[in-house]
Amino acid sequence: MVTLRDVAGHAGVSVSVVSRVLNSDPSVRIRPETRQRILDSAQLLRYSPNSAGRALRRSRTHMLAFVVPDVTNATFTDLVNGVESRALDHDYSVVLASSPRMQPGSDGFARLLNERLVDGVLLQKGDEAPLDLVARALSHPERTVLINSGPVDGVTTLAIDDVAAGGLATRHLIELGHTRIGYVGGVPTSDTSDRRRAGVEQALAAAGLTLPPEHTTALGYTYRSARDAARLLLGRQPAPTAVVVGNVNAGIGVLTEAAQMGIRVPEDLSVVAIHDIWPAITCAPALTTVRLPMANLGAAAVDLLLAGLEKTAGPSRPTSGIVDDPAPELVLRASTAPPTA
């Protein structure tokens, strides 16, 4: 293994100078050509710093944990990519965790920060967990950022503009001529679903329309729960001619159940789902979606977490934010059309 002493010998300088240059010490005073010779020597010898020793010196692991409810959920793919890419920009690595034993309040979650296994945690809570209870269960809220959540007292949170997403989907259906529009939502404890429903209701109100209770469900974002929701909504009279679905996985379930019931999409029913993943293209018909800036959300969450970790003077003050750049974008496919009657 190549050491600092090897690099120093190759470059013809002291070990301490090599250490200061490779650690970007701004106070080191050397000629530019000497600095470049050290960097060239380190690259030639393929020197790799001892991350464990550096962590001990700096009381940092340079590791972050990203905890999600289900690592197989395709809606998290862009979010994970955004987190990992931005963490690498800051010389951090990311541990991805997904299991009931890694949720707030569990021993596994507490060990991450109590034993300094990581410097901070990015947490995407499960929809079934009430936000205030999750916040109270955090062992180190000052080193945690809740993603796709908030605001909540005492914890830094960051979300996407769910209200805008719900409104965008609804306005598209209104512009097509639909007046009976339903909403297939998440479970009652899902704050993302609450915000997306608020966007639906605001867009309807602006057009002089309402969201009747009989045209809404709160059974969850899963494929199976959405099939149940679709059977409930589409079996009522009068049935909605269009629905906004709070999650793309649920949107695929709505398409499946509509086909089973003999309801044609988009001739009899238009469907727009929030989130955009590649399976939406493979549906029959292809599913119209609202694309959200999930990668940007992940990157911004890393920035927010690391900025909080750098605040050494005085208590850090939790903040809440919304990532709205770029804004939610409508992706038109074949599942929406003007009503036939």
Residue 263 pLDDT > 90, yes or no? yes
- Peptide bond preceding 326 in cis form (omega within 30 of 0): yes
Tell me what the mean pLDDT of segment 79-83 comes to: 95
DSSP tag of 72: T
Share of the chain above pLDDT 70, in %: 90
**CA 245 to mean position of chain CA atoms:** 18
Tell me what the mean pLDDT of segment 147-153 comes to: 85
pLDDT of residue 190: 92
More confident residue, 324 or 126: 324
d(CA 177, CA 159) in angstroms, rounded, equals 31
Contact 226, 255 (CB under 8 A): no
pLDDT of residue 231: 97
d(CA 41, CA 20) in angstroms, rounded, equals 14
Tell me what the mean pLDDT of segment 161-166 comes to: 97
Tell me what the mean pLDDT of segment 126-144 comes to: 82
Tell me what the mean pLDDT of segment 289-295 comes to: 97
DSSP tag of 150: -
Residue 98 pLDDT > 50, yes or no? yes
What is the tens place of the pLDDT at every residue in 24-72?
777 778 888 998 999 999 888 888 765 545 544 456 778 998 988 888 8
Contact 294, 79 (CB under 8 A): yes
CB hemisphere CA count around 339 (13 angstroms): 15
What is the tens place of the pLDDT at every residue in 215-245?
999 999 999 999 999 999 999 999 999 999 9
Tokens of 46: 């393929």
What is the tens place of the pLDDT at every residue in 307-336?
888 774 445 557 889 999 999 999 999 999
Tell me what the mean pLDDT of segment 116-133 comes to: 84
pLDDT of residue 210: 97
> What pTM was estimated for this model as a whole?
0.80
Tell me what the mean pLDDT of segment 206-213 comes to: 97
Nearby residues of 53 by Cβ (< 8 Å), 6 or more positions away = none
pLDDT of residue 16: 85
Give the residue among 212, 191, 192 at the shortest CA–CA distance from 201.
Answer: 212
More confident residue, 62 or 299: 299
Residue 103 pLDDT > 70, yes or no? no
